[in-house]
Amino acid sequence: MNVDDARAVADAVMYEGYILYPYRASAAKNQSRWQFGVVMSPGYAAADPSERAFAQTECMLEHGAEPTVTAVIRFLQVQRRMRAGSCWDEAVEREVAVRVDGSQLGGDGHRTAFEIPGGEEREGDVVRVRAPLAGTVSLLATPLPGPWGAARLRVRVDNRTAPDTVPRTRDQALPTALVAAHMIIGVHGGAFISMTDPPEWASAGVQACENIGCWPVLAGGDGGRQVMLSTPIILYDHPELAPESPGDLYDGTEIDEILSLRTLALSDAEKQEARATDPRAAALIDRVEALGADDFNRMHGTIRSPRVVSGPPDALFPGSAEGQGTPAGYEPAVPWWDPAADASVSPDTDAITVAGRRIARGSLVTLRPGVRRSDAQDMFLDGRAARVEAVLLDVDDTAYLAVSLADDPDQDLRVAHGRFLYFSPDEVEPCETP
């Protein structure tokens, strides 16, 4: 099982929001941290119903015999750094690994207890204090009916820390919490089933899975199904880090370029305060200041073509050998994303059929966003009338509609700038009046 790629993504998730730009302890946004995957101690969770003392993931796997499951529970332990009346929370990475044979997964399942010691270190006038942590990791596999040899796997982590006094505030409770808790789950002798795109026979089983505080996706750079990554941030199957990313920025890694530029724009005094705030912030400032023009060019944007060029090698690329693929340095005369690259499509004149009606540019439709694949903003548009602006095809020849809302007063400005909404044909209904 290749878990290195899953670990790289998990690290980015674990430190998401750890410290936010402008990376100074005095910044207002850094007064409220530790938001993702916080598993509180039972006493505080009982006093504050908005918090939980456990995280649970359920997923499906198929197997031919008794599979062996390995669950790696990873989280941050809050380390409180105090100096001359000031306080700042640092983080110490923790990991608990549990390996369970198939014979132990049935019945009541398998439970493993763990303890993380506390500690105190002094360095001059700086004191770092960690509270002890305790918890359990439980694994249970429930066979599912049918001929597919499938089971529902539950992995649950419970915080069992019992401080002498129940904390009264969230800030007081954080040192006894498991922060940014997530799971890397591997299987030997079986394969996991995608929770976002399951086969038809597994759909009902996937919908019955109960995930609390985390969501599992297939992980691993090889595209296999032996590793699941379950995190408090919903990801897609086989997530990966962009190779252009120079390192952690803790504040939304999809905007590396702008965060790096804004960090460079900090004054020397602000950078000095950021370096003094946290060792990871200091390393971030140093890394950003070391970036060169080539680094920023890579961050500015990269287009990865999903098209596979096919045809006789000598006709496509004279002199190339069979099976060698595209020669190094080859660039097509017209890039794949340019509309001129494929004369067989014309978004302005192409049409599709929806419910027996021809839908093309200018057609009026009613929006019916799909529940499984829409975000909250799309769902707010349910029932709204829209005008089709273009019929588009992706590289797999799947049709999409670019639309504008028919009743919004500023749509002419949005259309002029090409700011459309995009829906699948099965997410619209033809309006009764053309």
What's the rounded mean pLDDT across residues 208-222?
91
Residues 6+ apart with CB under 8 A from 321: 313
Residue boundaries of the structural domains of the chain: 34-241, 340-430
Q: Please say whether the beta carbons of 22 and 142 come within 8 A.
A: no
The residue-averaged pLDDT of 325-354 equals 67
How far from the centroid of its chain's Cα atoms is residue 321's Cα?
Answer: 40
Q: Given this model, what pLDDT does residue 308 score?
A: 47
Give mean pLDDT, residues 167-180. 95
For tokens 């060792």, name the residue. Answer: 279
Neighbours of 122 (CB within 10 A): 9
Where in 208-326 does DSSP place strands (E)?
215-218, 227-231
- Tell me the per-residue pLDDT of 2-59, one tens digit each, with 9 for 90 and over: 678 888 899 988 998 899 999 999 999 898 888 889 999 999 999 999 999 999 999 9
For the domain made up of 340-430, give the CATH fold: SH3 type barrels. (2.30.30)
Q: Could you tell me where the DSSP H helices lie in 28-88?
A: 42-47
- Band of pLDDT at residue 148, cut at 50, 70 and 90: confident
Q: Is the pLDDT of residue 338 over 80?
A: no
Segment 127-153 shows an average pLDDT of: 93
Whose CA is closest to 226, among 63, 433, 65? 63
pLDDT-based confidence at 304, cuts 50/70/90? low
Buried/exposed code over 398-412 (b: 16+ C-beta within 10 A; e: otherwise): eebbbbbbeeeeebe
Dist. CA 262–CA 357, nearest whole Å: 51
Give the DSSP letter string of 357-387.
EEEETT-EEEE---TTT--HHHHTTTT-EEE
> For 1-10, 36-45, 201-210, 298-307, which range has the lowest pLDDT when averaged over its residues?
298-307
**Can you tell me the distance from the alpha carbon of 32 to that of 17, in angstroms, rounded to the nearest whole number?**
10
8 Å CB contact between 3 and 97: no
Which of 90, 99, 46, 48 lies closest to 69, judged by CA? 99
How far apart, in whole angstroms, are the C-alpha atoms of residue 69 and residue 153? Answer: 9
Secondary structure element (H or E) that encloses residue 208, with its range: helix 203-208
324 pLDDT band, cuts 50/70/90, is: very low
Q: Give the model's confidence band at 247: pLDDT under 50 very low, under 70 low, under 90 confident, else very high.
A: confident
Phi, psi (degrees; rounded to nearest 5) at 140: -145, 130
Residue 68 CB neighbours (<10 A): 18
* Structure confidence at residue 340 (pLDDT): 63
CA distance 120 to 142: 43
pLDDT of 209 higher than 90: yes
The predicted pLDDT at position 95 comes to 96
- pLDDT at residue 336 in the model: 57
pLDDT over 80 at 341, yes or no: no
Residue 312's pLDDT is 46
Question: Model confidence over 275-291: pLDDT tens digits?
Answer: 999 999 999 999 999 99
**Average pLDDT of the chain?**
86
pLDDT tier for residue 316 given thresholds of 50, 70 and 90: very low
**pTM (two decimals):** 0.71
Regarding predicted confidence, which is higher, 220 or 250? 250
Grade residue 322 by pLDDT with cuts at 50, 70 and 90: very low
Q: What angle do CA 117, 227, 148 make, to 5 degrees?
A: 125
| Residue 259 backbone zone (phi > 0: left; psi -120 to 50: alpha; other: beta) | alpha
Please give the Cα distance from 95 to 3 (Å, whole number): 14
Q: What is the pLDDT of residue 311?
A: 47
CA dihedral 346→349→352→354, nearest 10 degrees, is 140
Query: 219 and 240 in contact (C-beta within 8 Å)?
Result: no
In this prediction, residues 65-73 reach a mean pLDDT of: 91
Token readout for 56 is: 């649970």
Sign (positive/negative) of CA torsion 206, 209, 213, 216? negative
Tens digit of pLDDT for each residue in 351-398? Answer: 999 999 999 999 999 999 886 666 777 888 999 999 999 998 887 778
Residue that wins the pLDDT comparison between 334 and 210:
210
Tokens of 288: 């950003």
Tokens of 214: 């985390």
Instruction: Please tell me the distance from the alpha carbon of residue 248 to that of residue 37, in angstroms, as a whole number.
Output: 18
Q: What is the pLDDT of residue 237?
A: 92
Q: Which residue bears the tokens 């990269």?
A: 302
Q: Report how far residue 203's alpha carbon sits from residue 201's, in angstroms, rounded to the nearest whole number.
A: 6
Q: Could you tell me which of 138, 178, 187, 179 has the C-alpha nearest to residue 159?
A: 178
Q: What's the token pair of residue 371?
A: 């529940």
Please check the confidence at residue 219 and state whether its pLDDT lies above 70.
yes
| 185 has pLDDT over 90 | yes
Of the candidate ranges 89-103, 153-167, 198-212, 385-399, the one whose mean pLDDT is the lowest: 385-399
